[in-house]
Amino acid sequence: MLAVSGGIDSVVMAHLFHNLGLPAGIAHCNFGLRGEESQGDEAFVRELAARCNFPFFVKSPDVKSFAKSTSVSTQMAARELRYEWFEKVREEMGYRWIATAHHANDSLETLLLNLARGTGLAGLTGIAPVNGHLIRPLLFSNRAEVSRYAAENGIGWREDRTNATDDYYRNKIRHHVIPVLAELNPSLENTFNVSVERLRASNALLEAHLQNWKKQIVSEENGNVRIPIVAISEEAEPAYRLWFILRDFGFQYGQARSVAASLNGISGKQFFSPTHVLLIDRDFLVLRDLSENSGQEELIIEQPNATLDWHGLKLALRTLPAGSPVHFDHTTIAVDLDLLTFPLTLRKWQQGDIFHPFGMGGKRKKVSDLLIDKKVDLFEKEKTAVLLNGNGDIIWVVGIRADERFKITTATSNLLLISLN
């Protein structure tokens, strides 16, 4: 599917696909930002698609409303809406690729823009020839070659007058920065192409090395991502290594630097991205999805035979006659069913919760003290649940310790087996 604006680059791309007999469709976004000119662009591209016998797709998104609601520039909003729609058309119509008409000069401008704004190695590789379902088949050429091809083949196009202004950063780089660089180095484009090739190779090697390292040290436990601090602090460039892991969770490089500077600090410090929270917990960095905080505060269990799923905590309750063989561990307990009063309640533990830990001869203990003794980290503390009898007594600090008061004895007639899956 060819993304065609009506400008010289995308029209030349469509012409090449048509002349080579390559099957394609044409997609055009009309944002209506230039009034009658925008309508003229759409009509031109529609006619181009008809001449090439290519299927034509058009959409007119409300870019101004989207920009306002998302607090981004009109240019950024248009880009996001455009690519989102392109992908939708690609999927619905069964196209394998989305082709855009970026050429080598666009790639150079992108590199300089990234450098001016601040970037890492990946940002210095320009525009990628292939990125997911996006391809850029004209990257081998430059602006002058595209213009020459259009002139030699009598190809017409639509001129966007904003390209001649300095209203956008990219235009300023195109009109003022690159000409100065070309004076310093008349072979600027060739030098750029060679440099980008080397930078892409370097970035690919670095990515492969760090991906392998990441697989060796990152683990998952109880839905949380865990990173051993020693695996970061003893390596070269800990901030960059951290960012390589944390970028997938919405963290910026500056945050990764702050985390790296805090690795040897006080346990309990937290850092937030829009989607995750990172905790420095003793010997580990622990990442948790913020969406896990949502959901009902407690779950009422009306009857003894039930399968439950609450905040990702899966419990199975099943009645058994006394004397039935059962296996006990921290994930499974059996209690005297006749000592229970339904409905039971499952909720998060709270400060002040007290129970009688099994095996302590009826002594009382705060749940908070139990969690400290077990060295449960902050995130796991927040997720720890208690199962309550109908009168409010704790039956089980789930997955950790049962209560003495509901244990099985020789007088027990009926069991309730409670399993944590």
Q: Give the three-state DSSP class for 15.
A: helix
Say what the pLDDT of residue 294 is.
Answer: 52
Predicted TM-score (pTM) above 0.75:
no
Q: Looking at residue 292, what is its pLDDT?
A: 66
Reported as half-sphere exposure (CB side, CA atoms, 13 A), residue 230 has a value of 2
**Burial (CB count <10 Å: 0-12, 13-18, 19+), residue 170:** middle
pLDDT recorded at residue 295: 54
Q: Please check if 369 is assigned to a binding site.
A: no
Q: Which residues pair with 344 in a beta bridge?
A: 301
- Burial, 12: exposed, middle or buried (Cβ in 10 Å; 0-12, 13-18, 19+)? buried
The reply to whether 353 sits in an annotated binding site is no
Cα distances from 403 to residues 305, 360, 374, 387, in angstroms, run 20, 9, 16, 10
Q: Percentages helix, strand, coil for the chain, rounded to the nearest 5?
A: 45, 20, 35
How many angstroms separate the CA atoms of 28 and 246, rounded? 36
CA dihedral angle for residue 192, residue 196, residue 198, residue 199, rounded to 10 degrees: 130
Annotated ligand binding at 361? The verdict is: no
Residue 327 has a pLDDT of 77
Q: Are 263 and 238 in contact (CB under 8 A)?
A: yes
Q: Is 155 annotated as a binding residue?
A: no
Does 7 count as an annotated binding residue? yes
Q: Are strands 26-29 and 2-3 parallel, antiparallel or unpaired?
A: parallel
pLDDT value at residue 289: 87
Task: For helices 104-117 and 188-217, give the axis angle rounded to 10 degrees.
Answer: 60
pLDDT digits (tens, 9 = 90+) for 364-396: 999 999 999 998 888 788 889 999 999 999 999
Which regions in the chain score pLDDT beneath 50? Answer: none
Nearest in space to 342 (alpha carbons), one of 378, 384, 313, 306: 306
10 is in an annotated binding site: yes
